[in-house]
A and B are shown apart, each in its own frame.
Chain A
């Protein structure tokens, strides 16, 4: 039973609650193969996608999830909204509440904003990524994908490659994987890996080959191209030379290593095209599973909030 009004992060969910979400998602994934890929469960409910940062993948994934549950979807993106006019987040929340939104899916460049919104409106707030904090549905869909492919998560060695410090995807993955007893190693240049990430229960490695030794899963993060201008690494060329995941370097991992990427990919930068095409790359499965996970979240929160 999910007890929270909102989904703000994975930090405060128990393993049991996460299992419920994953199990529910299995049933929703089944809906995709029907001739009508839609169920009437959330008919009459309204989902607002409130995106302060551009994101096609996540917002569309939520949109598809909501539609497959027969909910109505309203899209609000920053460029056109009153954010520009300086309307406060809380006032926007109140406006959405007046419109009788049942769910607000929020993406924001600043950590903690979903929490502020959740405290100020009665609609269920779903964090679709807040700053460098969390991206819980991504963490859940990654966990789902690993479980679906490798059954047991406990004891797996999961390597996350890239910009760990600025990655909400990494944070949510670490929190979820630790609850299930996986061993997480993060790898990347020290400028992108804060030492204090250790306290979240991960091993830090700066050498990709060493990190990949015996890995069951490698999750490759998107490198934000603008980081090179902030002296976090000297150039993309150098980043690629040191941290690009290629078929050759994957030889250091287990043969069956599961290859994941939250997208969108910079092919040839953090991941080579050959890797994308390997049979144990599950990048497209992640997208499909993302919809099932988001359906499960919408469904369970609707249940919890009625």
Chain B
């Protein structure tokens, strides 16, 4: 796997499947706990893995509270501030099966890093209407924010070395297993574990 420029190899498994799922359950619990009007909540998952996380959280909430929290899907491509350097051409789906107006929106993403994706997501959500408030839930917060943004719900904090380390979240829906990996930039990569 080539991520950005250069090759990366696995340095460490941060979370295995069991731990990962425990954390997701905990995050769902926190969301319930801190939102008494849970029926007024909508989750917005950022493409791609944020969407699956949002669906899982919605499912857990449903099991506990017997309430169907709607899940919106958001592709931030059109709102990115790095249009000139980002080469991804394919637009992914954006779909909000609910009205944003007066909703409490919780943005769900896998990794929080610079905060730029979240900025784009907020802008996009606002173009759909006027939510009551927007909160942010992330599985991993790897630090190094470049914008005044913080997460309201954090699964695990894990500060990485910028430009060297990376976090890779794997979810069974797309990656066949649940796992969170720490990757390390490797120039001479001869190991089998080259991603």
**A-B interaction:** yes
Interface residues of A (CB under 8 A from B): 1-2, 20, 23-24, 27-28, 30-31, 34-36, 38-42, 69, 299-300, 302-304, 306
Known: A34-B127, A40-B123. A27 touches B89 (CB 8 A): no
**Does B94 lie at the interface of the complex (its beta carbon under 8 Å from any beta carbon of A)?**
yes
**Does B184 lie at the interface of the complex (its beta carbon under 8 Å from any beta carbon of A)?**
no
B83–A41 touching, CB < 8 Å: yes
Within 8 Å CB of B85, what residues of A?
A: 306
In the assembled complex, the CB of A67 is this many whole angstroms from the nearest CB of chain B, namely 14
Residue of A20, A36, A302, A304 with most chain B CB atoms under a 10 A cut-off: A36
Within 8 Å CB of A304, what residues of B?
A: 89
With the chains together, A28 CA to B93 CA distance in Å? 10
Known: A30-B95, A300-B89. A41 touches B77 (CB 8 A): yes
Within 8 Å CB of A300, what residues of B?
A: 89
B127–A27 touching, CB < 8 Å: no
How many interface residues does B have (CB within 8 Å)? Answer: 22
Within 8 Å CB of A40, what residues of B?
A: 78-79, 123
A39–B78 touching, CB < 8 Å: yes
Q: Which of B92, B95, B127, B129 contacts A39 (CB 8 A)?
A: B127
B94–A38 touching, CB < 8 Å: no
User: B176-192: which residues lie under 8 A (CB-CB) from chain A?
Assistant: none
**Does B91 lie at the interface of the complex (its beta carbon under 8 Å from any beta carbon of A)?**
yes
Within 8 Å CB of B91, what residues of A?
A: 23-24, 27-28, 299
**Does B66 lie at the interface of the complex (its beta carbon under 8 Å from any beta carbon of A)?**
no
Within 8 Å CB of A1, what residues of B?
A: 89
Nearest to A40 among chain B residues (CB) is B79
Nearest to A28 among chain B residues (CB) is B91
User: B83-108: which residues lie under 8 A (CB-CB) from chain A?
Assistant: 83-85, 87, 89-95
In the assembled complex, the CB of A301 is this many whole angstroms from the nearest CB of chain B, namely 11
**Does B75 lie at the interface of the complex (its beta carbon under 8 Å from any beta carbon of A)?**
yes
B129–A27 touching, CB < 8 Å: no
With the chains together, A108 CA to B129 CA distance in Å? 41
B78–A41 touching, CB < 8 Å: yes
Classify the secondary structure of B's interface with A. Answer: loop
B78–A306 touching, CB < 8 Å: no
A2–B84 touching, CB < 8 Å: no
B83–A306 touching, CB < 8 Å: yes
Nearest to B84 among chain A residues (CB) is A306
Within 8 Å CB of B94, what residues of A?
A: 27, 30
Nearest to A43 among chain B residues (CB) is B83
In the assembled complex, the CB of A39 is this many whole angstroms from the nearest CB of chain B, namely 4
The 9 closest A-B pairs by CB, nearest first: A36-B127, A39-B78, A41-B78, A27-B91, A303-B89, A35-B129, A34-B128, A306-B84, A24-B91
Within 8 Å CB of B128, what residues of A?
A: 34-36
With the chains together, A38 CA to B127 CA distance in Å? 8
Residue of B80, B83, B128, B129 with most chain A CB atoms under a 10 A cut-off: B83
Residue of B79, B91, B127, B128 with most chain A CB atoms under a 10 A cut-off: B91
In the assembled complex, the CB of B118 is this many whole angstroms from the nearest CB of chain A, namely 15
Nearest to A295 among chain B residues (CB) is B78
In the assembled complex, the CB of A138 is this many whole angstroms from the nearest CB of chain B, namely 22
Within 8 Å CB of A69, what residues of B?
A: 78
Within 8 Å CB of B77, what residues of A?
A: 41
Nearest to A303 among chain B residues (CB) is B89
B83–A2 touching, CB < 8 Å: no
Known: A41-B78, A306-B83. A20 touches B89 (CB 8 A): yes
With the chains together, A36 CA to B89 CA distance in Å? 23
Within 8 Å CB of B127, what residues of A?
A: 34-36, 38-39
B93–A27 touching, CB < 8 Å: yes
